[in-house]
Amino acid sequence: MHKTVKSKIKVFLITFFALALTASLFSCKKKNQNLQTEAPQTQELQTEDLQPQNENTFYSPAEDDASWVEPLLAHIEEERIAEELASMEASVSEYQLEEETFDEEKKSDSASSDNSPADNSPEENPPEEISPIEKFFEEAKEGRSLTGKNNQLRFFEFENEILSPQQTDNGLVVVHSTDSNISRIFYDEKYKMVKREEWNIKSAADAKLLKTEAFSYSEETGKVLQKDITSQTDFETIMYNESSSPVSAKKYTISDNKKYIIMERNWTYDEKNQLIKDEQKEYLYKNKDFNNKPEVFSKRYEYIYYDIVMEDEEGKNEIPPDSKYYENDVLKMKYNYTAEKGSWYTWIYFDDLLSVKTYYEKEIRVYDEYYNAGKLMRKKVYDKVD
């Protein structure tokens, strides 16, 4: 009997505490609902802050295999190499010769004059050396010109440009001005350019000679062999082959009347005068007094041409040559093209182990392959654009 009473009391107490706990939880829930009704934004923030991380969390360190690192590094290196290549390719045009002489135009003018009736009167026929300049400005169709004796052109003005030829004992001097920028071009008696001066003239008291270009010609072919460029701070000499393509260049900085080399460049061509190698060395000095031995940073571009003929409207091959790009004799990037227009792959090497191979089809990036020590680690496929 005593045990039965104690058992009933025990059951009663358990039931009581269970009911009390249930009431307490219900009260707390109701209170929380009231608080949520009064300040929903605050309660929502608190709930979000107290939520534990789950499988939908944005970042989980345990699941991060660092697969994003290689694409990031590859993209950075690809951008850097692209800038180097663009700079190197763009600078080639700086060394190519322009249409700097009137000898070809003079030949055409002379040929046309040979077909016309002969006239021995010098007073009625203007000198042949002036006609190329007049022909040059015929395309403008507008402007103000001034001629002198024997109908020789002395002055031509078009908008903000002025051209003035001057005949001398040694040849022809042409002055061309645009605003405050003045070019003075010297031709010999055979109408070959021997010197060009670039001036900046703001006033009679403020005139600066910015740059001088001097040309040397081959006596056999009449082609430019050498061009020397002199400014207040630099001196550069460029050598050309018989096809007027640059073959070497050396650039110096001038300090205390001494020349210190800062750049050296060499071009190599095949029998068709196609560029097959472009080498450049930059000499970097730590001090401005140039007493220390410079550090050398080299870049090299190599081209390989194939007998793939697919010409565009201008007659140029639409399939570019394969190429390789080196820095300090280390291969950094190469392009390999196929016989199908718009299809190729690039291979970027940005350290001793990691490299990325990218495939293109119809000039669209298709997929990347990431290699580590020559072993394929992962592949990224891009969505095709219709």
**Where does the pLDDT of residue 268 fall: very low under 50, low under 70, confident under 90, or very high at 90 and above?**
very high
> Residue 253 pLDDT more than 80?
yes
Per-residue model confidence (pLDDT) at position 152: 47
**Where does the pLDDT of residue 59 fall: very low under 50, low under 70, confident under 90, or very high at 90 and above?**
low
**Where does the pLDDT of residue 144 fall: very low under 50, low under 70, confident under 90, or very high at 90 and above?**
very low
**Where does the pLDDT of residue 316 fall: very low under 50, low under 70, confident under 90, or very high at 90 and above?**
low
> Residue 131 pLDDT more than 90?
no
- Looking only at Cα atoms, what is the longest distance across the chain? 157
Highest mean pLDDT among 8-17, 62-71, 216-225: 216-225
Mean pLDDT of the chain: 74
316 burial level (CB within 10 Å; 0-12, 13-18, 19+): exposed
**Where does the pLDDT of residue 281 fall: very low under 50, low under 70, confident under 90, or very high at 90 and above?**
very high
% of the chain residues with pLDDT over 70: 62
Per-residue model confidence (pLDDT) at position 55: 53
The alpha carbon torsion through 8, 9, 13, 14 (nearest 10 deg) reads -30
> Residue 129 pLDDT more than 80?
no
The arithmetic mean of pLDDT across residues 202-213, rounded, is 85
Ranges of each domain in the chain: 97-108+128-244
User: Packing angle between helix 103-114 and helix 131-138, nearest 10 degrees?
Assistant: 100
Q: Are 298 and 310 in contact (CB under 8 A)?
A: no
Which of the residue ranges 158-172, 207-221, 244-258 would you say has the lowest mean pLDDT?
158-172
pLDDT in tens, 38-56: 444 444 444 444 444 555 5
Its pTM surpasses 0.85 = no
**Where does the pLDDT of residue 175 fall: very low under 50, low under 70, confident under 90, or very high at 90 and above?**
confident
**Where does the pLDDT of residue 66 fall: very low under 50, low under 70, confident under 90, or very high at 90 and above?**
low
The arithmetic mean of pLDDT across residues 299-324, rounded, is 81
* Residue 252, strand partner residues: 235, 261
In this structure, what token pair is assigned to residue 358? Answer: 């990218």
The arithmetic mean of pLDDT across residues 80-107, rounded, is 70
The arithmetic mean of pLDDT across residues 77-93, rounded, is 80
Q: Which has more confidence, 125 or 184?
A: 184
Which of the residue ranges 11-15, 84-88, 357-361, 373-377 would you say has the lowest mean pLDDT?
11-15
Task: Spell out the residues 6+ positions from residue 370 whose beta carbon is closer than 8 angstroms to its own.
Answer: 70, 71, 74, 354, 355, 356, 376, 377, 378, 379, 380
